[in-house]
Amino acid sequence: MKTKNLAAAALPVLSALAFALAAGPAAAQASLEGWALMPANTFSPGPTSGQFANGAGGNPLPLVGLQPVQGFSGVLQGPVAGSYRFMTDNGFGTQANSADALLRVYALTPDFRTATGGSGTVRANDYLSGAALPGFSAQSNISLSDPNHKLGFTIQADYTHYYNNAANPLVDSSIRANRLLTGADLDVESMRKDKNGNMWFGDEFGPFLVKTDATGKVLRSEISLTGVKSPQNPYLGGGSPTLNSSNGFEGMAMNAAGDRLFTLLEGSVAGDPAKSLRINSFNVDTESYTDQQWFYKLDADGTNIGDMTAINDHEFLVLERNGGTGTSGTPFKKVFRIDLNETDANGYVGKHEVADLMNIADPNDLNRDGSSTFTFPFVTIENVLVLDANTILVVNDNNYPGTGGRDLGSDNTEFLKIHLDQALNVSAVPESGTLGMMLMGGLGLLAVSRRRRG
């Protein structure tokens, strides 16, 4: 009788266990290992910016003699351990309001707050050496430029007045003299470095690939993806676009050899299945696309991708999101691992969740919000980088002076160091900073250093 009762009592437990095993293992919860914040109102000297945009969050525009250090949409390792180089996107959100926003790459170091210390602040670095600076300055960034007229279309530096409209202010003399690129010329959303130390930028207006040297100087004409044109494409010529605005090369990764780019569009091309995003392979040596193409499938709750970075030659991390924030809608913000060697009959790559950015364990309350669960509810999260097999860096694009991420003030830029319970199969990739690339890039950057001393 006793044995019978014990067996009967065990049946519910065994049934629940069998169901759990059949359903597979529960997704492990990623944890917050480090956190840092750069205030929304962080600026660097430069041409007056924001003359065609609206202020928000109590922060008026324009910014006289200043450029906002904001809108981070691509990240690479910096010149010294713990430092990074972040690329800014087109500026204030549209082609029509960003003619005075420079396209730059900034060097900085987050002092992550961790369980054992750290201030949680961010400091500017010298772009070439990585030395600490008291603030952002000409030494902490490079600006993209086209001094040799390599791009095939007219840029703001070619005009006397912004947007070639005599009613607008004069184009800043530094933009004209150096043919600096602005957010009305390109909307760069991804950045990688190749085996030769040259930089590749993924743009959304074309969408185009743009090649520069280590100083940000354009080296050749822009490269199109056959059959894909955005509404802002300068060669549209009255034709119909095949891609919606702001749906270009949001994601881009580099292989371990530094000779192959993988581009990921943010939106679907006309005629492709709904919620499918093209991944294309690009040969750096021939400077042309190969015939390899895959599709990334957005989740039911996902609307856009924010970035892609390499784990190894066939696996990548992809940031996926929707437009929800902490003040509006239901945020969907996740990191997925994809595998080009896993494809189904429709060409969709294998996709596996790595981290839910709205549910990160934070037992040490590193951001001091009083919760042991960390959420990252910003509308655009556009930076992911593999630091080691169990650690990734994730950073938001704060869309300065945009609001609504956590509250109605202008969003700050937050830097997250996230621990993954399941190790990634990491191989060394050029964007993680190999010796050869650092030497190649350093040679080009010497020119920047000499100009600054002159």
Percent of the chain residues topping a pLDDT of 90: 87
The verdict on domain 32-453 having CATH code 1.10.3470 is no
**249-258 per-position pLDDT tens digit:** 999 999 999 9
Would you list the DSSP string of 371-414? -SEE----S-EEEEEEEETTEEEEEE---TT-B-SSSSSBPPEE
Under 8 Å between Cβ of 261 and 281: yes
Tell me if the bond preceding 401 is cis, omega within 30° of 0.
Answer: yes
Per the CB < 8 A criterion, the answer to whether 50 and 63 are in contact is yes
Give φ, ψ of 14 to 5 degrees: -65, -35
pLDDT of 452 higher than 70: no
For residue 320, CA distances in Å to 74, 335, 342 come to 15, 6, 19
d(CA 441, CA 447): 11
Q: Which residues, 6 or more positions from 163, have their beta carbon under 8 angstroms from its beta carbon?
A: 96, 99, 156, 184
Neighbour tally for 387: CB within 10 Å: 17
**Own/partner pairs, 231-240, CB within 8 angstroms, 24+ separation:** 232/95, 232/187, 232/204, 232/205, 232/206, 233/205, 233/206, 233/207, 234/152, 234/153, 234/154, 234/205, 234/206, 235/153
The number of C-alpha atoms within 13 Å of 200 and in the hemisphere containing its C-beta is 29
Q: Is the pLDDT of residue 434 over 80?
A: no
Q: Which tokens belong to 135?
A: 């603030």
Start-end of H helices in 37-95: none
Which residues, including other chains, have CB under 8 Å from residue 25's CB and lie 6 or more apart? none
Distance CA 40, CA 408 (A): 12
pLDDT tens for 113-139 read 999 999 999 999 999 999 999 999 999
Residue 126 structure tokens: 């010298």
- pTM assigned to the model: 0.90
275 contacts 301 by C-beta, under 8 angstroms: no
Q: How confident is the model at residue 427 (pLDDT cuts 50, 70, 90)?
A: confident
What is the number of other CB atoms lying within 10 angstroms of the CB of residue 208? 25
With CA atoms as reference, report the closest residue to 414 among 32, 37, 68: 37
Retrieve residue 304's tokens.
Answer: 């856009």
CA distance 321 to 295: 17
Q: Classify 193 as helix, strand or coil.
A: strand
The tens digit of pLDDT for each residue in 16-34 reads 333 333 333 445 699 999 9
Nearest CA among 353, 363, 340 for reference residue 420? 353
pLDDT (average), residues 332-347: 96
The pLDDT tens digits of the residues spanning 363-402 come to: 999 999 999 999 999 999 999 999 999 999 999 999 999 9
**DSSP letter, residue 18:** H
* pLDDT (tens digit per residue) in 175-207: 999 999 999 999 999 999 999 999 999 999 999
CA angle 402, 362, 377 (to 5 degrees): 20
Q: ∠ CA(312), CA(313), CA(319), 5° rounding?
A: 60
Q: Is the CB of residue 209 less than 8 Å from the CB of residue 282?
A: yes
**Cβ count within 10 A of residue 233:** 20
User: With contact defined as beta carbons under 8 Å apart, do 429 and 402 qualify?
Assistant: no
Q: In angstroms, how far is the first alpha carbon of the chain from the final one?
A: 95
- 207: its two tokens: 């969408």
Q: What is the pLDDT of residue 23?
A: 36
